[in-house]
Structure 1
Amino acid sequence: MSVEKDIARAPSPFKGLTTKLDAGIARGLNKITGAALAPYQAAVVRIGFALTFALYLIREWPHRLELYGTTSPWGFDLAHRLTASNHAFTVLLWSNDRLWFELVYHGVIAASLLLLLGWHTRTMSLLFMIGVLSLLNRNVLLGDGGDTLVHLISSYLVLTRCGQVWSLDARRRERAAALSGDGGDRVSVALWACSGAGLAIAQVTGFAKIPWGWVLILWGLWLIQALWFLAWRSRYSELRSLLNVIANLVHNAAMLVIAAQVCLLYATAGWYKVQGPRWQDGTALHYPLHLDYFSPWTSLSQVLDSRSLVVTMITYGTVIAQVAFPFTLLNRRVKNVLLAVLMTEHATIAVICGLPFFSLAMIVADMVFLPTNFLRWIGSRASAARSRVTGRLRRSKDPQAAEAKAGV
């Protein structure tokens, strides 16, 4: 018995390891629940994809009816048949009237610009997602890699807290905090009430033809927003803390999914290229340079194609960069170098192949992996430039005050 007691009293060799492991798990849980991680990266995704889609819709404005409207070759009946089989969501199939199409098209442009500015990002991100899905699902024949990426990211953005920095929402919260306010906003409540009333009226009147899955999603998001409003005005701080923890968890999971989506995109693109014979012999770039659709600058394409060594190097370099990118995340410096290479590649594609919106979407997606310090530095430079511009405007409007300040 004495031996057994001595063994029981003896310190466990795993006790210290267990304590450190528990502390590490606790720190990890506190990190992913205590704050929304990567707020600057989320802001870049919000600004970049909203800008990309807004510019695309503005550029295609003269052709909007042929692409997505009432005169599209992909007719109303054909679109109805497809969405009935794949249950895709689009509000453009609620009515074939041109007025409804114009309201939706210009409403999506407005939602994209407001999301870019970060004005009530919870509501605008939802409207942006609805607009993107509505237009892209109306005519599936127009999609390419860039459209598919915008399609996916717009759905993920709804789950993120992408308005914490570089947004009008952040400025409003800072002003409310300076005035010792609670940050409440009647405009947000009004937008919430109007969106719920509009959805209810559309369903009751039979105007909206929404699949039941999307009915649950839209009303679920509406009810979650109602719960958020009630909790923020409640005297129970524990409820607000719980909702903040859940929102942080959802945000962090969504940002992880966005990063994984970009890695999956590059990995699949690279490994499919490896299997292609034209990519294996280094001549894949030669063929699109001779297609009129991908050669807006014919002379530039001819100059590039005249150097076979350059064509081969770019072809092999593209495959290597795409296949290697997910693995470079293990080393920060190598990852940053490869990010610069990929962004340069997409910028070159935008010019040589005439694919500006595809390239812009890919560049914005790559920015998810940019270092936070670098994004903060860009933000500080942009803020300083804005302050100089606004200061000059104030001095030009009130020269007497400027002279008095200068001691003239």
Structure 2
Amino acid sequence: MNGVALSVSRGIARVTETALGPYQTAVLRIGFGLTWLLFLLREFPHRHELYGPDGPWSWGLARRLTGDNGAFTVLMWSDGRVWFEAVYALAVLSATLLVLGWRTRTLSVLFMAGVLSLQNRSVLVGDGGDNVLHLMSVYLVFTRCGRVWSLDARRARRAAAARERGERAGDRTGPVLWAVLGLVLAGATLSGRLVGHDVEWTVPALLWGMWLVQALWWAAGRRAGGGEPRVLLDVIGNVTHNAALLVIMAEACLIYATAGWYKVQGSRWQDGTAVYYPLRLDYFSPWPALADLLAASGTLVMLLTYGTVMAQVAFPFTLFNRRVKNVLLAVMMTEHAVIAVVLGLPFFSLAMIVADAVFLPTPFLRRLGGVVARGRWWRRPAAVPGGSGVPAQGTAEDAGAARVG
């Protein structure tokens, strides 16, 4: 019993004292932010037809649908063209700043609001990757995804260095941003746009909750320094982060498991010909010669069909063996890259590759970050308390991150 109690105690300590997987969540932040940003930029010339006032899915139809299902979208606050342009521009800006890791606590919320607003405005626009992005944008809000590879990390290190020199590290941008967003939330709430009979309470409650958490975090850091209130908030933040990370992993496994088991029930997947048919569709053939080359080989089509099913069904079970998991992870990412090129679904594939990246080993991500960044501020984080802090190399934070990989 002593051994069991000790293991449980260590597990609780890990979950409460450490935000696991800082590199994995940084990859999710950068990957999903970049996926959404690239999509918005690519569709910028067509934005009015997809999400705006010129689309076949009119504002009135969207109003009726959101009134029935209670979906959150700020585009229902007004049908004006200026309002739509402002929301679209803010979605682009929030995605850009999230990729850079600037004020990630706030920007993750704004990023979620942008994703939900545009996607819930036109529910018929998407290719499957939008569903993944939709879910992950909500989960990211609960993670401490700015602890590495971010401008927040650099600011935290500079603040720590200033405190070591005996200087006072002030932050004016954070309180101003918090106050402005509070005024926006208050105005939307009082006008009945944020909370009404046709809007579910979940997203508005999350927006207000995160705004209040920001106030508590600032007050704890300013009034109590490094005392018990800040320690308590750190524990709550770590537990919330780790729970969200677990949900993200479970979601990725669920996507593959359900896709694989549904494929098993299909006759075309059973006879090994399912991959052939999308290769013959003009709509999914940006490179017809390449699609024809793949479809011409019956053996290759059969191997791809059966291999896809086996990989998707087996993926959740491979997580118990690190080496097998890493091999199958490389196979799945390669498969999505091939889908992006052959079938012309780049954003669906990119969203799935980013979701897969949560299972990548931490040593690999750290080496990759060092190669890509080529800057010391990416590779030498310092331990700083708080949600924007960064784990130090060789600390318990990295040890916890390594266990995730």
Q: Distance in 1 between matches of 2:320 and 2:213?
A: 37
SS state at 2:260 partner = helix
Is residue 360 of structure 1 aligned with residue 350 of structure 2? Answer: yes
Q: Tell me the equivalent position of 2:146.
A: 163
| Greater alpha carbon shift after TM alignment, 348-357 vs 174-183 | 174-183
2:111 aligned to which of 128, 150, 154? 128
* 2:72–2:200 CA contact under 8 A, matched in 1: no
The 5-angstrom pairing of residues 13-24 of structure 1 reads 18-24=1-7
1:217 Cα deviation after fit = 2.4
1:386 Cα deviation after fit = 8.4
Q: Which runs of no fewer than 5 residues in structure 2 stay unpaired?
A: 378-405
1:144 Cα deviation after fit = 2.7
1:204 Cα deviation after fit = 2.8
Is residue 228 of structure 1 aligned with residue 217 of structure 2? Answer: yes
Q: Distance in 2 between matches of 1:167 and 1:308?
A: 47
1:203 Cα deviation after fit = 2.9
Q: Which has the higher helix share?
A: 1
Q: Distance in 1 between matches of 2:316 and 2:325?
A: 9
The 5-angstrom pairing of residues 192-211 of structure 1 reads 192-206=178-192, 208=194, 211=199
Q: Distance in 1 between matches of 2:182 and 2:359?
A: 36
Q: Distance in 1 between matches of 2:376 and 2:90?
A: 29
Q: Tell me the equivalent position of 2:323.
A: 333
Q: Which residue identity is paired with 1:68?
A: Y
Q: Distance in 1 between matches of 2:152 and 2:168?
A: 13
Q: Tell me the equivalent position of 1:154.
A: 137
1:59-78 Cα distance to aligned partner (Å, 9 max, x none): 00000000000011111111
Q: Tell me the equivalent position of 2:34.
A: 51
| Greater alpha carbon shift after TM alignment, 140-149 vs 52-61 | 140-149
Q: Distance in 2 between matches of 1:138 and 1:66?
A: 12
Cα pair distance change 1:306/1:120, threshold 3 Å: same
* 1:172–1:183 CA contact under 8 A, matched in 2: no
1:331-376 Cα distance to aligned partner (Å, 9 max, x none): 0000000000000000000000000000000011110000001001
Q: Which residue identity is paired with 1:346?
A: H
Is residue 269 of structure 1 aligned with residue 259 of structure 2? Answer: yes
Is residue 64 of structure 1 aligned with residue 47 of structure 2? Answer: yes
* 1:336–1:370 CA contact under 8 A, matched in 2: yes
The higher-RCO structure (CA 8 Å, 6+ apart) is 2
| Greater alpha carbon shift after TM alignment, 139-148 vs 62-71 | 139-148
Q: Distance in 2 between matches of 1:209 and 1:145?
A: 29
1:215 aligned to which of 159, 180, 204? 204
1:184 Cα deviation after fit = 4.8
Identity of aligned residues (%): 60
Q: Tell me the equivalent position of 1:320.
A: 310
Q: Which residue identity is paired with 2:368?
A: I
Q: Tell me the equivalent position of 2:69.
A: 86
Q: Which residue identity is paired with 2:240?
A: V
Q: Distance in 2 between matches of 1:121 and 1:107?
A: 15
1:319 Cα deviation after fit = 0.3
Cα pair distance change 1:363/1:183, threshold 3 Å: farther
Q: Tell me the equivalent position of 1:7.
A: none
Could you tell me the TM-score, scaled by structure 1's length?
0.88
SS state at 1:233 partner = helix
Q: Tell me the equivalent position of 1:246.
A: 236
SS state at 1:379 partner = helix
* 1:94–1:209 CA contact under 8 A, matched in 2: no
Q: Distance in 1 between matches of 2:111 and 2:86?
A: 14
Could you tell me the TM-score, scaled by structure 2's length?
0.89
1:191 aligned to which of 177, 189, 197? 177
Q: Which residue identity is paired with 1:22?
A: A
SS state at 1:354 partner = coil
Is residue 371 of structure 1 aligned with residue 361 of structure 2? Answer: yes
SS state at 2:124 partner = helix
The 5-angstrom pairing of residues 345-356 of structure 1 reads 345-356=335-346
1:381 Cα deviation after fit = 1.6
1:267 Cα deviation after fit = 0.2
Q: Which runs of no fewer than 5 residues in structure 1 stay unpaired?
A: 1-17, 388-408
Q: Distance in 1 between matches of 2:168 and 2:26?
A: 23
Q: Which residue identity is paired with 1:277?
A: S
Q: Distance in 2 between matches of 1:282 and 1:235?
A: 64
1:209-237 Cα distance to aligned partner (Å, 9 max, x none): 65251332221221111111111112260
RMSD: 1.5
Q: Distance in 1 between matches of 2:265 and 2:193?
A: 49
Cα pair distance change 1:329/1:184, threshold 3 Å: farther
1:262-291 Cα distance to aligned partner (Å, 9 max, x none): 000000000000000000000001111111
Give the ranges of 4+ consecutive aligned residues of structure 1 lying more than 6 Å apart after TM superposition: none
Q: Which residue identity is paired with 1:230?
A: A
Larger-Rg structure: 1
Cα pair distance change 1:207/1:320, threshold 3 Å: closer
Q: Which residue identity is paired with 2:355?
A: A
Cα pair distance change 1:184/1:28, threshold 3 Å: farther
